[in-house]
A and B are shown apart, each in its own frame.
Chain A
Amino acid sequence: MQDIAAAIAIGFGAIGPGIGIGLIGAKAMEAIGRNPDAQDKIQTSMFLAFAFAEAIAIFALVLSFIIKFVK
């Protein structure tokens, strides 16, 4: 039962951040395409937003580790 719970936790938990990171990347590329001179700034902000969105996926991952490896 623990295995199933861990799999469901990370399975559902990775849907949202996946979509979010895709949107961040798309908007960043659009902005760079519009204004190639600001590439450094846009790239830095993109990485920052990427870390925020990934943190949510990591919360789900840590929870699934706790479910699976802590009796």
Chain B
Amino acid sequence: MLHVSVKPEILFYISNFPITNSYLATILTLLIFFILAYNYNSAKLSGKQNTLTTLLDFVQEQLYTYMKGITKSYVTILYPLLGSYFFFIIISNYLGLLPGFGSITFKPEIKAEHSAIEQIQLEPKTNENSLPFLSEFFKTKEDTDISEQKNQNHETVHLLRGPTADLNTTIALALISVFIIQYYGIKINGAKNYAKKFFNTSSAMMFILGLFELMSEFIRIISFSFRLFGNIFAGEVILMVIAFLIPYFASFPFLLFEFFVGFIQAFVFTTLSAIFIMQAIETQHH
């Protein structure tokens, strides 16, 4: 059956900390990151050149030259962050396309540690005044909700899910990005000059434009996170739906498209972060 859930499903709890299926995949991403970095570092330190160093050198050189074109003289400060964004997002996107992601399901018995109040509410309310067979007609919405809630503990759950197909990951990345934009704007321009961009008191129209600028800073969080989440999650859903309709090789063209989309989204996230940081650093002088 087809199980699509926008929320990532909780697999188990480690003493009140929920571990979701995309959290497992994020840990896998970090492991891959560390293994790549360790092998690259040890090969570079001993002076050898194997395929891994050649490949990573090529990718890094392209990315560094491109970032240098955007960020000009600040590339030495900004490249660690932007390079990390690129590699993390692209590894996350491609990890969600491996076999096993989205296809291994199981029915967990979640022994969630509910608080005492929740446990009282989870027991269905019995209406003792009515006749037993009439209670079916007088079921309120709360009764059906509670029975659904009890059934939810036994739904099938995917074991693994792409890390960026989880809105939590993308919102975290977007928050880091927007925070870094403000941080570098304030650090290089000074807090007063940077605040003048938003609270421009030269004329009434510029003041309203400044407020719009402030609002668009917050909208950027949603734009960053939903762009990445939407592309990757929609790709996952399309692959699942097509595989559900036509079992064998029909999802292959969509898989190729997902490779392209994964690369483009990582590239766009990095480039947009770089462009916005440069906009914040070099504020225009009206």
What is the minimal beta-carbon distance from A24 to any residue of chain B, in angstroms?
14
- Among listed B45-53, B194-202, B204-212, B225-233, interface-contacting one: B225-233
Q: Tell me whether chain B's interface is mostly helix, strand or loop, or mixed.
A: helix
When the two chains form the complex, which single residue of A48, A55, A69 contacts B226, counting CB atoms closer than 8 Å?
Answer: A55
Give the complex CA separation of A44 and B5 in angstroms.
Answer: 34
What is the minimal beta-carbon distance from A26 to any residue of chain B, in angstroms?
19
* CB under 8 Å from chain A, chain B span 183-242: 223, 226-227, 229-231, 233-234, 237
Q: Verify A48–B268 contact, CB threshold 8 A.
A: yes
Q: Verify A66–B6 contact, CB threshold 8 A.
A: yes
When the two chains form the complex, which single residue of B5, B7, B237, B271 contacts A48, counting CB atoms closer than 8 Å?
Answer: B271
Q: Verify B6–A54 contact, CB threshold 8 A.
A: no
Q: Verify A61–B234 contact, CB threshold 8 A.
A: yes
Task: Kindly list chain A residues whose C-beta atoms are within 8 Å of the C-beta of B233.
Answer: 62, 65
Give the complex CA separation of A59 and B226 in angstroms.
Answer: 7
Total count of chain B residues near the partner, CB < 8 A:
21
Task: Kindly list chain B residues whose C-beta atoms are within 8 Å of the C-beta of A12.
Answer: none
Whether a CB of chain A sits under 8 angstroms from the CB of B265 is yes
* CB under 8 Å from chain A, chain B span 233-279: 233-234, 237, 264-265, 267-268, 271-272
Whether a CB of chain B sits under 8 angstroms from the CB of A70 is yes
Q: Verify A47–B226 contact, CB threshold 8 A.
A: no
Give the complex CA separation of A70 and B272 in angstroms.
Answer: 31
- Beyond A48-B271, A58-B227, A66-B6: 9 further Cβ-contacts under 8 Å? A44-B66, A50-B264, A51-B268, A54-B231, A55-B223, A55-B227, A62-B226, A69-B5, A70-B6
